[in-house]
Amino acid sequence: MAKRIDVSGLSAFYGNHKAIDDISMTVEPRSVTAFIGPSGCGKSTFLRTLNRMHEVTPGGRVEGKVMLDDENLYGANVDPVAVRRTVGMVFQRPNPFPTMSIFDNVAAGLRLNGTVKKKSELNDVVERSLKGANLWNEVKDRLNKPGSGLSGGQQQRLCIARAIAVEPQVLLMDEPCSALDPISTLAIEDLIGELKERFTIVIVTHNMQQAARVSDRTAFFNLAAVGQPGKLIEIDDTERIFSNPSVQATEDYISGRFG
């Protein structure tokens, strides 16, 4: 039951500085949407507004609406904690909890939520999540070893397993492959293809080939000048964006003329 995201008129601020301006878009359920654009254009900031992580940054503030199906994430009485449980996130650099074992890392979210009480049930979910992240075969013999002992690519898949263990509706990925080698990147990209059967996926990437490979739809962000807020230039089917974009700036960026 992945959900549709419907953003309208969204702006985000750091203190008095406006980072992104008046963004509206729709993200279809069970699809992969990629955000591309030059550094500093606000695509990561925008991603973080989709699970209310932006307001965790000191001075972070958001205006506008983000509808998850028929519910506004920024409505009154909405609990940000519940939002983040529904909208999972994978970060740029793999960040397993350094003091926890592989098993505990995956179980962390479940334990926090207190949803899974029985040990056997917990084992099942951990196994299912690790399989879902294509990591099970590599770690099944060392579940009690620290997660920090894995390679970078394995750590990132561990973080994906941790995120999907709590069964979110949406999975946000903030440049999940930028710290990984090509082979690990390929593994993650394959995984994204499988995960979109179950989740709505939004991925920020610097790598245009990656966007072309994994996404169904692509959104291009840009900023008018340094210090100006970032804007959504256009969003369309990935194929169309990469073959025949409707805006000149998109074509310039994709063909490598800037950025």
Interface ranges with other proteins (CB under 8 A): 1-2, 51, 53, 56, 58, 68-71, 73, 75, 77-79, 81-86, 88-89, 91, 93, 95-100, 108-109, 112-115, 148, 159, 162-163, 166-169, 198
Q: Which is nearer to other proteins, 73 or 235 (CB)?
A: 73
- Residue 35 forms beta bridges with which residues? 204, 219
Task: Give the burial string for 154-165 (b: 16+ CB within 10 Å, else e).
Answer: bbbbbbbbbbbb
Q: Which is nearer to other proteins, 27 or 223 (CB)?
A: 27
Give the shortest CB-93-to-other proteins separation in angstroms. 6
Q: How far is CA 194 from CA 13, 137, 189, 201, in A?
A: 35, 17, 9, 11
Going by C-beta distance under 8 Å and a sequence separation of 6 or more, which residues neighbour residue 110? Answer: 116, 122, 125, 165, 166
CB-CB contact of 129 with 159 (8 Å): no
Give the shortest CB-47-to-other proteins separation in angstroms. 11
Q: Which is nearer to other proteins, 80 or 259 (CB)?
A: 80
Q: Which is nearer to other proteins, 97 or 136 (CB)?
A: 97
Going by C-beta distance under 8 Å and a sequence separation of 6 or more, which residues neighbour residue 178? Answer: 92, 205, 206, 207
Q: Which is nearer to other proteins, 114 or 227 (CB)?
A: 114
Give the shortest CB-162-to-other proteins separation in angstroms. 7
Q: How open is the CA angle 237-238-244, to the nearest 5 degrees?
A: 85
Locate 254 and state its tokens. Answer: 């994709």
Give the shortest CB-168-to-other proteins separation in angstroms. 7
Give the shortest CB-98-to-other proteins separation in angstroms. 5
Give the shortest CB-242-to-other proteins separation in angstroms. 30
Q: Which of 133, 109, 129, 105 has the alpha carbon at shortest distance from 193?
A: 133
Q: Which is nearer to other proteins, 51 or 184 (CB)?
A: 51
Per DSSP, the three-state class of 113 is: helix
